[in-house]
């Protein structure tokens, strides 16, 4: 894998743009991974379908959104290279915009170390392997009947969670609002994909956030990902979490019998 291409893909995951759909983000990641930031993309729609595992309709919608937001630039006849003119099936011709490349450069300088880059890579950086006259999808480390069913949008949600998880798989600093900015999804749609990930064994547990401003304050909630199974997902995995709390604030000590409680600790 080209290191620069991979770094650009990670930067796309960090783009906070609520108008950028998960499918468009996934499409952009696949383009960067396969072609890089400086290459002209000149392939047939059928090839794009194979390279992204997305339908023609979804690809068209994602591409139109990326063009509208100036993430991609459509190449006109006089802007195409000599290699662009080929006979046969209609081809999609476009490249990354200079504005997007500048944004990616900024995001790469702000990137922190991720504990689960390898898991993100397995989700997003699969390749096509040609066998005889047909193609087969090669996704390293994936299990059949579990990982194969994950759609592009679900992969983007899981990749966003992996990018914010600590070494033990705990995600504490990202709620539905931030996930919405990283995936371009509504809270209801995010919930739907989270349920899929939980049923598949990727998410072990979830603690919902609290929005009671006057009583409890705000809390973004937490996610606990399955990072203890090398097969990425397992219904049989289990994690024991132990927490010790020895905090007695002024209010607890004076109004809830904290002094008496502490005697029995």
Beta sheet of 170-171, edge-to-edge order: 170-171, 222-225, 203-207
Residue 40 — very low, low, confident or very high, per pLDDT cuts 50/70/90?
A: very high
Q: Is the domain 3-111 a CATH 1.10.1200.10 member?
A: no
Model pLDDT for residues 50-95, shown as the tens digit of each residue? 999 999 999 999 999 999 999 999 987 545 454 444 555 567 799 9
Separation CA 23–CA 58 (nearest Å): 7
Exposed e or buried b per residue across 193-219, where buried means at least 16 C-beta atoms within 10 angstroms of its C-beta:
bbebbeebbbbbebeeeeeeeeeeeee
Which stretch of DSSP H or E encloses residue 98?
helix 98-110
pLDDT-based confidence at 127, cuts 50/70/90? Answer: confident
| Tokens linked to 7 | 């770094």
Q: Where are the domains of the chain?
A: 3-111, 156-265
Domains 3-111 and 156-265 share a fold: yes
Q: In whole angstroms, what is the distance from residue 92 CA to residue 49 CA?
A: 12
Taking residues 147-167, report their average pLDDT: 89
Which CATH code, of 2.40.170.20, 3.20.20.210, 1.10.10.10, 3.30.1490.20, is assigned to 156-265? 1.10.10.10
Q: Is the pLDDT of residue 168 over 70?
A: yes
pLDDT at residue 1 in the model: 64
């Amino acid at each position: 894998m080209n290191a620069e291409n991979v770094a650009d893909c990670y930067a796309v995951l960090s783009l906070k743009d609520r108008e950028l759909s998960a499918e468009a983000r996934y499409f952009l990641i696949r383009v960067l991974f396969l072609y890089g930031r400086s290459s002209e993309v000149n392939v047939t729609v059928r090839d794009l379908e194979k390279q992204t595992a997305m339908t023609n309709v979804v690809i068209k919608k994602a591409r139109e959104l990326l063009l509208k937001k100036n993430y991609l630039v459509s190449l006109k006849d006089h802007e195409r290279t000599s290699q662009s003119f080929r006979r046969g099936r209609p081809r999609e011709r476009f490249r990354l915009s200079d504005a997007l490349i500048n944004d990616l450069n900024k995001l790469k300088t702000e990137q922190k170390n991720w504990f689960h880059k390898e898991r993100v890579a397995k989700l997003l950086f699969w390749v096509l392997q040609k066998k005889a006259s047909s193609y087969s999808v090669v996704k390293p480390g994936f299990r059949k009947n579990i990982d194969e069913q994950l759609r592009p949008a679900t992969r983007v949600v899981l990749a966003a969670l992996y990018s914010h998880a600590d070494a033990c798989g705990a995600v504490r600093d990202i709620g539905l609002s931030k996930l919405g900015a990283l995936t371009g999804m509504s809270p209801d749609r995010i919930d739907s994909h989270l349920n899929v990930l939980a049923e598949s064994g990727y998410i072990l547990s979830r603690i919902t956030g609290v929005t009671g401003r006057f009583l409890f304050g705000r809390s973004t909630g937490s996610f606990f990902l399955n990072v203890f199974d090398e097969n990425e997902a397992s219904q049989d995995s289990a994690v024991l979490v132990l927490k010790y709390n020895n905090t007695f604030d002024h209010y607890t000590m004076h109004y809830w019998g904290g002094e008496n409680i502490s005697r029995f600790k």
